[in-house]
Structure 1
Amino acid sequence: MKLFYYLLFFSTSVAYGQTVVKGKVMDKKGHALPGANVFLKGTYDGTTTDSSGAFYFKTFEKDSAALAASYVGFEIAETKLSLKGKEIVYQFRLEELANELNTVVITAGAFEASDEKRMAMLKPLDIVTTAGAAADITGAIQFLPGAQRVGEQEGLFVRGGSGQETKVVIDGMIVQNPFFSSLPDVQQRGRFNPFMFKGTSFSTGGYSAQYGQALSSVLLLNTTDKASNNGLGISLNLANAGLNYDYATKNQSISAVAYYGNLKPLFTLVKQNVDWLHEPEFKGSSLTYRLKPTKHGVLKVYGMYSDSRLSMNSKDPSNESGKMKLDLKNRNAFVTSTYTDQWRDGKWLLNSGFSYSRNKDNMTFDAVHFDRFDERTQARLVLTRLLSGNNSVLFGGEAHVINLQNGVDGTLYHLKDRYTAVFAESEIYVTRQLAGRVGVRGEYSSLLDRFNVAPRLSFAYKTGKYSQVSLAAGQFYQNPDYRYLYLNKNLNFERADHLILNFQIIKNQRTFRFETFYKNYAQLVREFTGQAYDADPYRFPWGTTNNGGHGYARGFDFFWRDQKTIKNFDYWVTYSYVDSKRLFQQFDHAATPTFISNHNASLITKKWFEKIQTSLNMTYAFTSGRPYYNPNNEEFLADRTPAVHNVSIQASKLTSIKGNLIILYASVDNIFNIKNVFTYRYTPDGKTRYAVGPQSYRSFFVGTQIMLSKKAKVDKNDL
């Protein structure tokens, strides 16, 4: 009998030692989620929900524990429980996971290429195979809405902004010299290889508070995290020859490039409109190293060096001979390193970087020195905290040391600037349909001895499963052109205020996008010379200056891309309209600047032929006439150049020899040989004008890339 009571007492104690946990798992709308997993974290106790979403289980655990519920397509939810042997009832309401279909994406003013689930606009080979882009990143960007084509100057011109108002950023670090050295009436290409980058984000305005010193836009380039193990490669074309080598292991990789170029063979075959005395000759190299020192940490170091020289007779209407001899020798170096990491299960993200750039132009005009030198050292640190519900907050800072020198007629001008900035930004998802990004940026320039505060904000609302509207607004500051600061260091920041409204639909590999904008310019630099307007774009300013200028730019963009309707056929159509006037520089009243065309349109097509492994591409680009200065017209900048039309074609073929991949490519620019005019210039007496056009009217280019590795792969999705 004692044994019976002992067993009865023991079983009763065990029963009282258990805790019953039961409840229900539902979504936010109260719909049951059958088959959801419910469990105590760190134990084997748990169950799955039945057809009504209900769950029930017992546990011997005591004190406190975390009860969690998970279901495919929903965020994991958990709650703290106090386990004291009493029945616990709890209801979970799970929140749907964020994805490209059910969550709004803040995109006003930006084209993303780094997230293929959203907007895969321009991949590296997409850039290379765009006819008319000449395998140049900014050349391809010019065919996106918002960008304008200005054929005789380097730079990226966006929505009424000059080429100086757009900054190129690599892994968060500003690039001091993204283009080859400026030449009179010759458009220069970018310095960087598209294959360096895994993603391209082009902002037409309203960009993040993380970036500054750009009144119009930023072009964000993100380098690849790991090189493909392609081994040795050889590049041969009419302009240069190069070697590249890629090697990768599990945790590290290295990529090396060396090249030599001489454009004399190409210019012998393609008639030039430039009087070359020594065709451009160049050489250079680059080295990229990537290391994963921890599970999530990535260290990337990139360095490049280039050396070039050329000589030409540029047109000079003020000279009796009508020309001026230019000699240029350039040396450029750029080194950047970044380290990214995360901890606390990805809730904290680190993004840090350090870079140094140096550029030297030894340049003479008719033996008179106009040397240029600049260097920039910068450091950057950004911390991001991911919060529940897809929300996040980031904060960071950056510091730059900038040194500039410019020799003009034997006088050496020099500047030194210590530029620092701090910023904070938060993304807030009110619902899956409504989200906002609020940020602020503060900047200080020791050269100006001034500080500014720039608020930025954007909102997006999901109007359907595949569509949304977005709104962006903010203030953006930039130091004046350093040529003005050489003579007047009391100038203020120039400012632009952006307002952008966007609508887009992305469905079944088709993208429709419409965006309208208004941009207000303030504190622009004005120059007062007391003389007639000087249209020479290369003049060195000498008049008195202040920040009394202002202006506006307004318009809309249209974009349509279809990669689905026709098998192996991809095309996109863009159209941009901009209306802009400014009172700045030497202008005595507001007028449309010479770099602005009201209408820009393009049609890009790409067709892949499976049987012959060939991609055939075509681009048509239209640019309406731009203003130019006519000293014989009493109305300032009232004359317009003819419209520019250009049709280009490009073909790429994949083949192999003994298992080694070979890519053959050929292109023809301006296939119809249209005599396009970019602008006109006049002699000082105003009696004679001459046209400024492209470096050559019709040109062609052929080359090959040979990859001496059986591991190398390229398919139609890349071309």
Structure 2
Amino acid sequence: MKKLFSILFTLIGLTSYSQTIVQGKVTDGKNPLPFANISLQGTYDGASADVNGQFMFETLEKGKQVLSVSMIGFISSATDINLTNDTINIEVRLEESINSLNAVVVTAGMFEASDEKKMVMLKPMDIVTTAGGGADITSVMQLLPGATRVGEQEGLFVRGGSAQETKTVIDGMIVQNPFFSSTPDVPQRGRFNPFMFKGTAFSTGGYSAQYGQALSSVLLLNTMDKQGENSNINIGLNLAGVNASYTHKGWLTASVGYNNIAPFFALTDTNLDFETIPSGFGGSLTINEEFKNSTIKAYSTFTENQSAINLPSYDESDETYLFSNRNLNSFTNASYTTNWDEGRWLLKAGASYSNNTDQLQVSGFGADRSDERSQARVVMSRLYGKENGSALTFGAEYHHIKQSNIYSGYEFALQDNYSSIFVENEFYVNSKLALRLGLRAENSTVISKTNIAPRLSMAYKLGKYAQFSLAAGRFYQNPEKEYLYLNQSLDFEEADHAILNYQIIKNGKTFRTETFYKRYNNLVSEEVDYFDPNPYRFPSGSLDNSGYGYAKGFDIFFRDETSIPNGDFWITYSFLDTKRKFRNYTEEVVPHFATSHNVSLVYKQFFNAISTNIGATFTHTSGRPIYDFNEDFVSFERTKDFQNLSLMASHVKQVNNSFLVFYATLDNVLGRKNIFGYRYSSDGRERYPVKPLMYRTFFFGINWTIGQVNGRIREAELDF
């Protein structure tokens, strides 16, 4: 027995003597990282770092081993070590993961509303619950900094740019007709429902090389992914019409609708005389299916609308002419996405087709207009770098465009084959510095020209919540179609952007400020002897690319979603200094659609006890310049400042497996007599103010959803 105990104690002593001590410290290069996990790969030996990043453990393992160190928010480390009977001291440095939520991202010029890692600004529910926005995407975007509200025309006017300088893009495809057909001095709504889209990115300039043909801005809309396997029916009724949709097991949605705004007009007087109340019908079909590593999306819609309005001729106070339109519009958009090599390679391919026809009658004469666009696009991305945080993206797109118009009995037409290739590399120098370098080349057959557009963006993180961003680049677009009808020897119009951005997001609060400078070159200019302020005239005189101009200024945006319980508000202010010589302007002056100061205040409050949301929006826009016939541009008037206060309320009532949403809005509560400029008689001696369709509007409706509803959608509806 004595010999047995002697052998046992000897073995215990030898075992203790043969253990190796591994100790050290985990840091990020400057500061210790507490509670990091340390272990030997393939064993149970290891430890956790203390509050000072220090660690120590013992092991019986010998020889070459791999020491693994990991911590949430940092890239895991694997270090080769050689275990002997000696104590090993090692210092491990971890790099912050660029995929963590607080990693730096390029945001200059962009308001993202899709990816929380890229600074969420607006979601679909933000759009439909914003007073004064009318649940219209573009109208709500006009409440963000950088945009100007132009009340007599649809479109986004961004930082001194006209509506033609902004393009709407759905899943990478340019939308030829994002708004319902234009009527003189009557702005039109967008064609698309906000809930079609999972994200909205509004660019105020300096946008990615993946997009082109826009001198000022792009509105990027990405359609919803498949939302569960539920089926439901939705019915909507309001003062403008009725609609219904059916969703089958999450992958197929069909909808139909009829609109007639006679009930809406019956509530108040209008400033225009409608011969035929606007009405129409339409339908859409959406397919959205997911497979193991791929997704197929398809959306197709058709609408027919008609209206007729007696517009003032402006030559005599009571003289009018009839402007009637029957619009037929179809749009189909399909995309396919897939990935392979464990997600390192991404492919997105898409195609779309749109056809729009306006059967116009102006004073009894035909003035039809039509346009057609077919396009295809392929984009590939290769993820690389630590934790695949960087990406090399390249692709190509092709568009076939046909347009025609009848002016004063003459028919004009053009055809263009537009193509482009692009490459863009977004990479991280480290977790604090991100760069995006891009190059885009375009060719347009209608003008037989090619361009090359460089783009640069970068961002530097100042701390956990704040960063600076910079964006710069060159942007091109074709001249407007009215100019190309007359002269197809024109060149691309051109703009150079430079943007500096500071942004901080912390505790549900966002502060963002941005300064910008934009230089215009090669703008189309008409060689004329006098200025004609009629925005709907057909171009006259010889045309060239001698136009130029600039836009500069700054924006401020603040949003607070936490200080007021169940409340949300944001404030924006934009200052713009811009001048141009273009179109039929005889000198470099402030364009008629530009305003120096734009202010928006938006507030929303949800009351849990009664499941009700209320909101208010106030907007103030300084006066726009007024130019007469033969304007010398030395001294000119401005319109009075535009001001508008809007209110909205919505209430949700849930009954078993269905719920109802009641909503109402009141626009221009104070009844302010805003005007948007003047129209002139043919001799220029008389002028008449351009008024809104109504000075004050009231609108209400109800949505009823029956059946299973995906939890994400229900949460949005109930929580606003």
**TM-score, normalised relative to structure 2:** 0.91
- Indicate if the aligned counterparts of 1:440 and 1:453 stay in contact, CA closer than 8 A: yes
Corresponding residue for residue 667 of structure 2: 669
Corresponding residue for residue 470 of structure 2: 471
Deviates more, 1:132-141 or 1:27-36: 27-36
Corresponding residue for residue 403 of structure 1: 402
Q: Counterparts in 2 of 1:635-650, with a 5 A limit? A: 635=633, 638-650=636-648
Give how far 1:672 is off. Answer: 1.1
Corresponding residue for residue 3 of structure 1: none
- Indicate if the aligned counterparts of 1:328 and 1:364 stay in contact, CA closer than 8 A: yes
Which of 606, 611, 614 aligns to 1:613? It is: 611
How many angstroms apart in 2 are the aligned matches of 1:616 and 1:466?
Answer: 30
How many angstroms apart in 1 are the aligned matches of 2:217 and 2:505?
Answer: 23
Give how far 1:94 is off. Answer: 2.8
How many angstroms apart in 2 are the aligned matches of 1:79 and 1:343?
Answer: 29
Q: Determine if the alignment matches structure 1 residue 378 to structure 2 residue 407.
A: no
Q: Counterparts in 2 of 1:345-364, with a 5 A limit? A: 345-364=342-361
How many angstroms apart in 2 are the aligned matches of 1:37 and 1:301?
Answer: 48
- Indicate if the aligned counterparts of 1:581 and 1:590 stay in contact, CA closer than 8 A: yes
- Indicate if the aligned counterparts of 1:125 and 1:718 stay in contact, CA closer than 8 A: no
How many angstroms apart in 1 are the aligned matches of 2:534 and 2:328?
Answer: 26
- Indicate if the aligned counterparts of 1:348 and 1:386 stay in contact, CA closer than 8 A: yes
- Indicate if the aligned counterparts of 1:528 and 1:586 stay in contact, CA closer than 8 A: yes
Give how far 1:77 is off. Answer: 3.9
Corresponding residue for residue 246 of structure 1: 247
The residue matched to 1:486 in structure 2 has which SS? helix
- Indicate if the aligned counterparts of 1:342 and 1:350 stay in contact, CA closer than 8 A: yes
Distance 1:300 1:68, change over 3 A: farther
Corresponding residue for residue 308 of structure 2: 311
Distance 1:304 1:25, change over 3 A: farther
The residue matched to 1:430 in structure 2 has which SS? strand
Distance 1:382 1:38, change over 3 A: farther
- Indicate if the aligned counterparts of 2:522 and 2:545 stay in contact, CA closer than 8 A: yes
Corresponding residue for residue 7 of structure 1: none
- Indicate if the aligned counterparts of 1:661 and 1:710 stay in contact, CA closer than 8 A: no
Corresponding residue for residue 278 of structure 2: 280
Corresponding residue for residue 548 of structure 2: 550
- Indicate if the aligned counterparts of 2:652 and 2:718 stay in contact, CA closer than 8 A: no
Q: Counterparts in 2 of 1:172-211, with a 5 A limit? A: 172-211=172-211
Deviates more, 1:147-156 or 1:344-353: 344-353
Give how far 1:405 is off. Answer: 1.1
Corresponding residue for residue 489 of structure 1: 488
- Indicate if the aligned counterparts of 2:335 and 2:348 stay in contact, CA closer than 8 A: yes
Distance 1:715 1:420, change over 3 A: closer
RMSD: 2.9
How many angstroms apart in 2 are the aligned matches of 1:407 and 1:637?
Answer: 37
The residue matched to 1:472 in structure 2 has which SS? strand
Give how far 1:318 is off. Answer: 4.4
Residues 572-591 of structure 1: per-residue CA shift (max 9 Å, x gap): 11111101100111111111
The residue matched to 1:611 in structure 2 has which SS? helix
- Indicate if the aligned counterparts of 1:67 and 1:79 stay in contact, CA closer than 8 A: yes
Which structure 1 segments of 5+ residues have no match? 1-19
- Indicate if the aligned counterparts of 1:37 and 1:71 stay in contact, CA closer than 8 A: no
Deviates more, 1:172-181 or 1:87-96: 87-96
Residues 412-460 of structure 1: per-residue CA shift (max 9 Å, x gap): 2111111111111112222222222111111111111111111111121
Amino acid at match of 2:643: H
How many angstroms apart in 1 are the aligned matches of 2:56 and 2:301?
Answer: 62
How many angstroms apart in 2 are the aligned matches of 1:491 and 1:268?
Answer: 49
Give how far 1:611 is off. Answer: 0.9
How many angstroms apart in 1 are the aligned matches of 2:405 and 2:640?
Answer: 36
How many angstroms apart in 2 are the aligned matches of 1:717 and 1:576?
Answer: 33
Q: Determine if the alignment matches structure 1 residue 111 to structure 2 residue 111.
A: yes
**TM-score, normalised relative to structure 1:** 0.91
Residues 291-312 of structure 1: per-residue CA shift (max 9 Å, x gap): 1122x31111111111101111
The residue matched to 2:590 in structure 1 has which SS? coil
- Indicate if the aligned counterparts of 2:627 and 2:633 stay in contact, CA closer than 8 A: no
Q: Determine if the alignment matches structure 1 residue 702 to structure 2 residue 700.
A: yes
How many angstroms apart in 2 are the aligned matches of 1:696 and 1:453?
Answer: 46
The residue matched to 2:473 in structure 1 has which SS? strand
Give how far 1:266 is off. Answer: 1.2
Corresponding residue for residue 422 of structure 2: 423
Give how far 1:114 is off. Answer: 0.6
Corresponding residue for residue 538 of structure 1: 536
- Indicate if the aligned counterparts of 2:125 and 2:716 stay in contact, CA closer than 8 A: no
Corresponding residue for residue 9 of structure 1: none
Q: Counterparts in 2 of 1:140-289, with a 5 A limit? A: 140-227=140-227, 229=230, 231-248=232-249, 253-289=251-287
Corresponding residue for residue 338 of structure 2: 341
Q: Counterparts in 2 of 1:558-577, with a 5 A limit? A: 558-577=556-575
How many angstroms apart in 2 are the aligned matches of 1:577 and 1:393?
Answer: 36
- Indicate if the aligned counterparts of 1:514 and 1:559 stay in contact, CA closer than 8 A: yes
Amino acid at match of 1:460: A
Corresponding residue for residue 5 of structure 2: none
Give how far 1:539 is off. Answer: 1.1
Corresponding residue for residue 129 of structure 1: 129
Which structure 2 segments of 5+ residues have no match? 1-19
- Indicate if the aligned counterparts of 2:534 and 2:680 stay in contact, CA closer than 8 A: no
Residues 328-353 of structure 1: per-residue CA shift (max 9 Å, x gap): 01111111111122222222222221
How many angstroms apart in 2 are the aligned matches of 1:418 and 1:68?
Answer: 56
- Indicate if the aligned counterparts of 2:532 and 2:629 stay in contact, CA closer than 8 A: no
- Indicate if the aligned counterparts of 2:66 and 2:79 stay in contact, CA closer than 8 A: yes
Amino acid at match of 2:240: A
